[in-house]
A and B are shown apart, each in its own frame.
Chain A
Amino acid sequence: MKYIDEYRDGDLAQQLARSIAAEADTGRTYHLMEFCGGHTHAISRYGLEDILPANVRMVHGPGCPVCVLPVGRIDAAIWLAGQHSVILCTYGDMLRVPGSKRLSLLKAKAEGRDIRMVYSTLDAVKLAQANPDRKVVFFAIGFETTTPPTAVAIKQAQALGLTNFFVFCNHVLTPSAIAQILDSPEVRTLGTVKLDGFIGPAHVSTIIGSQPYEYFAEEYQRPVVIAGFEPLDVLQAVRMLVRQINENRFEVENEFSRAVTRDGNAKAKSLVAEMFELRKSFEWRGLGLVPYSALRIKEDYAGFDAERQWDVPKDSPPDNKACECGAILRGVKKPTDCKLFGTICTPENPMGSCMVSAEGACAAHWTYGRFRDTKAQEA
C-alpha cells in the first residue's frame, strides 16, 4: 500500500536499529517517553523493543484519550444515556471503558440504553437529523486531533437548525499534560522517573504544529522529536533523540515533516478557538486535576452543550485501589508492576482504563508483549 509500506520496511528498520545501537553510548541509559498511545501501540505491535538496544528504554506516556478520562466522566456519560429520549453516541473505544460499579456504556446498552457507536461526528449529526423527536448527545473525547471534528459537527448542526444535537465535551490538551508530567515530583525532585527526551505526538501535531513544544524543550531542557505513527517513524525519532542527547542538545525536531508544520493547521485551530474555551482545571486519570488542560463549549454555542442542557453529575469516584493506571500514565510504573495486570484485569474485563483502549500501555503490553514476561520468569 503506497505511503504506508514505505514506512514498514523491515530491512530499513534493521538498518536503523543498527545505527541506533552504534550511536547509543553504552555507558548510559536513554529513557525516552513516547507521549502518544499511537506510538505505544506501534512499538508493541511491531515488536520494536526487540530490535532496540537494551540501554534505550521506552517509557509509555499518558497520550491515550480513552485512558486519561476519569471515572466520573464515564459515569456522567452513562447517566446522560439514561435521560429521557436520549441517544448517546461516541467512538467505539469508549464503549468498554469501565465507570464506577463496573458499569460501562456497553453494559448500559445491554440494559436497554440507546447507545450507538459512530465513526465520525457527522454521523452523530445525521442521527439527530433522522430522529427529530430524540435528543442526540455526542460524547466527545480526545486530544487536539478530535476537537476540530467536534467543532465541525456543532457548526453543521447549527447550519441545519437542529435543536436536538448536544455535545458532552471532554476534549483535553496535550501541552498541559506534558507540563504536568515534567513538573511532577517524580521527575523534578525525586528522580524516580527518568525522562531524557520525548517522542512528540503525530496527529495532534498536525493540528497544533511543532511550535508549542519549543517551550518544553527549552524550559525543561529535554529534546522533543515529533514523529509519525509508523514503525520506521518511531525508530528514526529514537535515533534523532539519541543524537540530541549525545550532543547535549534539547531542541524540537520534526521527523513527521510530511504532515506537521511549525504552525499547524490554522483553519482547524481558528475553528476550535471560535467554539471552545479553556476550563480552569480538569481531572485526568493518573494526573489528577490539571490546570487549563481541557476545553468546554463557549457561551455562544451553549445550546449545543450537554453540560448546560442537563445537570450532569460532577462526582469523581476513585479508581480501584489496587489499579495502578495513575502511576502507569505518569511513567512511574510499568504495567507489570500492577497486581491486577493479567490476573483480574485483562482486555475482556478491564479494571483500569489503560487496559481498555488498544493504545493503553497495559492493553498494548498484554496484547502484544506479554510473552516476554513469562520468558523473564522462566530465565
Chain B
Amino acid sequence: MTLSRRTHPRPLDVKNGRVDLTHGGGGRAMAQLVDELFVAAFDNEVLSQGNDQGAFNVPGGRMVMSTDGYVISPMFFPGGDIGSLAVHGTINDVAMAGAVPIGLSAGFIIEEGFPLADLERVVKSMAAASKAAGVPVMTGDTKVVEKGKGDGLFITTAGIGMVPPGIDISGDKARPGDVILVSGSMGDHGVAVMSQRESLGFETEILSDSAALHTLVAAMIKVAPGIRVLRDPTRGGLAATLNEIAVQSGVGMEIRETDIPIKPQVMGACELLGLDPLYVANEGKLICICGPDDAPALLAAMQAHPLGVDAKVIGICDQDPHHFVRMKTAMGGTRVVDWLAGEQLPRIC
C-alpha cells in the first residue's frame, strides 16, 4: 500500500461516487482513495509511514510486513506468471525496507470452472519462485467463488522480514542533493504483459523482468548501510514512484532523459501503443536514493549483481516546495514527469 501526504483538489465523492478503473491504476486517483478512505479509517503509526511495507519494533529488532493482491491478466506472460509474480512482488515490498524476507502467506480466490492444470502450473511456479528466493510460503487460504464472480484466479500474498540493525530505509528520507539510481531498464514487465493481450496482436521478444530483489538489496546495504530510500517502480512505473517519494520526502527531483535505461524493443512497443515507458510497470527493478557520497560504491555494487547489471544514476533530489519531478529532455528542454492520470495499463500486476 502506497500513500503520501498530499491534498486533492476535490474530496472523494463517497456518497454518489463509484469505484472505477482509475482507482487501481497507481496514479493520483488511487492515491486519493488510499489516503482518504483506507488510511483515514485504519489510522495508525505504522500505516502512516506511507511505504509499501509497515515497519514495527518487536523484541529483538525491527520487523516489516507487507501484502499485495495479484489480478494480472493474462495469467501467463513471457518471463513469468501470476504465481511467480505473487512471490516476487511481495518479497520485493519487504526487501524495499532493507529487510531480509522470512516467509510468505498465500491466499487463493478461484473461480468455479478454473482448470486444475492451470492451477497446478501456477502453484508449481510459485513454489519454484519461493524456493529459488529462499523464502517459504508458510501459510495459506483457499476460496472458490461461483462462475462469473471472479476472473479465473486472484492471489494475495503477504510477507514478513527482519530489518538488519542500523538500517533505516523509508520513502520520507530523501534530501536535497541526494542521488537517484535505478537498477536497470524500465518498462519490460508492462510491455511483456501487453504483448500477450489478445486484442493487441503484436509480438515481441521482451520478457517480464519479474524477479526477487532481496539479494540485490542485501548487496547494496553491505556497501551503503545509509541508503535513504528504496522502492520498486511497479504500477505507474518510474514516474509514479518518483512522484510518491518526492511528495513523501518533501523534495523536488530532476532526472535526465538520456540516462534512463529503456530497451529499444520496449521503446518501440510503447511508440506503437501510445504509451510512455516511464509509466509502464516493472516487477524486478528498484529505485534507490542515497547521499551523494554513497552513490559511486552503490552503483558499482548494483552493477556487480546479476539483477543490477544495467544500473544507472538518473538524477538528483533538490529543493522544490511543489515537489515536482522534472526531466531534462534529450532535446535540452525541461518538462514535468507527472503522476499518471487515469489508467494506462489495467491489471498489470
A residues whose Cβ falls under 8 Å from a Cβ of B: 1, 4, 8-10, 13-14, 17, 44-51, 95-96, 106-107, 109-111, 118-119, 123, 231, 343-344, 346-349, 363, 366-371, 374
Contact = CB atoms under 8 A, between A and B. Distances in A.
A7 B332 CA distance: 14
A355 to B, nearest CB: 9
B333 A106 contact: no
A51 B271 CA distance: 24
B317 to A, nearest CB: 15
A107 B27 contact: no
A119 B199 contact: yes
A4 B271 contact: yes
A348 B333 contact: no
A367 B199 contact: no
A343 B18 contact: no
B331 A47 contact: yes
A344 B10 contact: yes
Given A4-B271, A96-B342, A343-B9, A368 B21 contact: no
16 contacts: A10-B332, A46-B331, A50-B334, A107-B20, A109-B21, A118-B199, A119-B199, A123-B199, A346-B28, A347-B341, A348-B341, A348-B342, A368-B335, A368-B336, A369-B336, A371-B334
B258 interface: yes
Interface-centre pick from B264, B329, B330, B335 (highest chain A CB count, 10 A): B335
A349 to B, nearest CB: 6
Contact of A106 (B22, B268, B273, B332): B22
Contacts of A8: 330-331
Interface string B321-349: 01010101111111110100110000000
Given A10-B258, A371-B322, A1 B9 contact: no
Contacts of A111: 18
Contacts of B199: 118-119, 123
B328 to A, nearest CB: 8
Q: Which 8 A-B pairs have the closest CB atoms?
A: A47-B333, A347-B341, A50-B333, A368-B335, A110-B20, A110-B18, A10-B330, A13-B331
A17 B329 CA distance: 14
A50 B332 contact: yes
A46 B9 contact: no
Given A107-B18, A348-B29, A48 B331 contact: yes
B256 to A, nearest CB: 11
Contact of B331 (A10, A348, A374): A10
Nearest to A346: B9
Contacts of B10: 344, 349
A348 B329 contact: no
Interface-centre pick from B10, B19, B324 (highest chain A CB count, 10 A): B10
Nearest to B267: A1
B334 A47 contact: yes
Contact of B264 (A1, A106, A363): A1
Given A344-B10, A348-B341, A14 B324 contact: no
B333 A49 contact: yes
Contacts of B326: 371
Contacts of A47: 328-329, 331-335
Contacts of A46: 329-331, 333, 335
A9 B330 CA distance: 7
B338 A368 contact: yes
A346 B331 CA distance: 27
B279 to A, nearest CB: 11
Nearest to A365: B336
A235 B20 CA distance: 40
B316 to A, nearest CB: 16
Interface string B4-29: 00000110000000111110000111
Contacts of B264: 1
Contacts of A17: 332
B58 interface: no
B20 A109 contact: yes
Contacts of B342: 95-96, 106, 347-348
Interface in B14-66: 18-22, 27-29, 32
Contacts of B331: 8, 10, 13-14, 46-48, 51, 231
A343 B8 CA distance: 9
A357 B328 CA distance: 23
Interface string B266-299: 0110010100000000000000000000000000
